[in-house]
Chains A and B, each alone.
Chain A
Amino acid sequence: MRILGRKVKPGTIATYVLVIALTVIMLLPFVWMLSASLKLNREVFEFPIHWIPQHPRWQNYADIWTKIPLGLFVFNTAKITIMVTLLQLFTSSFAAYAFAKLKFPYRDVLFLGYIATIAMPWQVYMVPQFILMREFGLYNTHWALIALQAFTAFGVFLMKQFYMSIPDELCEAARVDGMNEYQIWWKIMLPLSKPALSTLTIFTFVFAWNDFLGPMIYLTKTDLKTIQIGLRMFISQYSAEYGLIMAASVVAIIPVLLVFLALQRFFVEGVANAGLKG
């Protein structure tokens, strides 16, 4: 068969058809979401589906901000997510440097402790954690969620794996040149570990932004809630306002989509590396 003047094997065509069909299945819910977000309620379930709304209702995107304090929810989520991500990047890369490049007593025991908790389901200790946070007076504060997510074993593990691939000679040479360990971390390791830092950024950002169970347990006051909880609240309050619900859902997904598209290359590499070495 010839397409655009080139010879194409039937097998190749079959592969493309399959890949495109699968991509459609994976993305269809989002396309439907986008399409429904511009419709009136009665149009949402019309069949056959009008993928491009006949009279796009942009008003939905204006209404969601006034029906619920969506702006505040977005602000709260952004605040928590950014704090968690910054703390995570700093504390993980800092600790990982010692685990990867320095020798000190109990290093391996400590690291084993980290590894052991990665396999531990969070749900096993979420109750004692909740009690502890309450004792600290962190219930109904954003600090509870920040403390919950900023110090993860996963972050340390990911960064350490990356630092192991950087030759020790580089650190040795820097020491001979009179750099101290903090300078080596700041001036050599951090700049070299951009791919790993990007991976950790997306992981942390995506999980903090999308977190649902954490905010549900810790935040009961409306003005503290995050976008996922707000969205959930919105759904039960306006259960028949499908167009509005879809518009709010689109808003909840956009930041993650942007971060994902910007750092996607690193994410895919990072997942692959963490997977191979895990």
Chain B
Amino acid sequence: MLDRSYYQKTDEIMENYPKEESALIPIIQDVQEEYHYLPPELLEYIAKKIGITETKAYSVASFYVNFSFEPKGKYVIKICDGTACHVRSSIPVLQRLYKELGLTPEKNTTEDMLFTVETVYCLGACGLAPALTVNDVVHPAMTPEKAAALIQELRGAEHDKV
């Protein structure tokens, strides 16, 4: 069961949209932006409010790759494997990230909920290939070494806070 604040926040988000089917995607995008993932309870709650079945809501949310029912880490690293990045060796960067963080394509979030690694097709920063983003901030011209250093830096920033 989710905390009540989740439902309150969802209500706030829904105030910006009409209560109809066409608002489903924008609403769940906003909810996901808030929590870094789409809590299934909230998807069901939204479905009821806009008058569509839970099944329908799930069928839409599961169709689009941007929606995730699993919680994601604090830092979502999206590594671009578009054509430009691919031919400039994005895969070795991905492999290094997996190695640094002990992740695999199947398990892509670290135990401490700090990092999630995803591959995407094209971030539109092809001139700077290979590129990755950390929470939407673009890091250009990556190499496996730079990727490892970036992880160290982010970990360090976390450590300093504690």
User: Do the two shown chains form a genuine complex with each other?
Assistant: no
- B-contacting residues of A (Cβ < 8 Å)? none
